[in-house]
Every structure is written in structure tokens, then in C-alpha cells.
Structure 1
């Protein structure tokens, strides 16, 4: 991280931030062209932390992920 004094490393603080949020952005690459999607999400913390993203079973976002599953949250 470029500005280490701003880095959040405390797990309970990270969990609190993710639990308060409702909206996220998912960044994908479609043949080297950026594709950004705003989505609602849910978060479960603990031993098996998980991020849940709502999505239809088909569409452009999933087509892109099938071709290139690298993504940023």
C-alpha cells in the first residue's frame, strides 16, 4: 500500500466496514477494456468469511467472468 499510515489491518475494523456497507463496485476486464459494475452485497465474517454478490444467472458480467475470472472488489 502506498500510504501505510492509512492502511487498515485490524480484522475487527475491516469486518465492521464490510458489514456497514451495502454497495460495492466490481471491476472486470473485457478483452483489456475495463468494465465496472455497481452491486449490492452481503458479508459474513468469522472463521469462514464470505462476500455475497447478488446476480442474475446470465448477463454481460458473468460472460466476462467466464472469460477472465480476475476481478477487484
Structure 2
């Protein structure tokens, strides 16, 4: 199961806009649901990148993140 576009909770401070804090809280619930719904399966979590995934360089970056 691949989950992408995750906003890292540790990168969001108390001074972050309410929209971002709400998204992080919402995604936490979804991630918990994924963990509970797919026990024993490999789950890859990819962060929300600062750019679109376009070109070999960015695809390579995602590959390295998956391999980490």
C-alpha cells in the first residue's frame, strides 16, 4: 500500500496556518485507518514534496525515499 503526499507532523509548528494543522490531524486518522485495515502488508509512506513529480530526477528521489 503506497500512501503519498503526507505532511510530516514534526515539520508543522503551532504557528502553522489552521489549514495545515487541520490537514495533518485529518491525515493522522487516515494513516491510522490504513494501518488497521492492512495489517501485515507493506506500507510505503511518501512525503508531500515541494514540487510536482515530473522528470527523472524527481522520480529518482521518490525511488530513494521508497528504498529508505
TM-score (norm 2): 0.26
RCO greater where, 1 or 2, for CA within 8 Å and sep 6 or more? 2
Larger radius of gyration: 1
Higher-strand-fraction structure: 1
Bigger proportion of residues as helix: 2
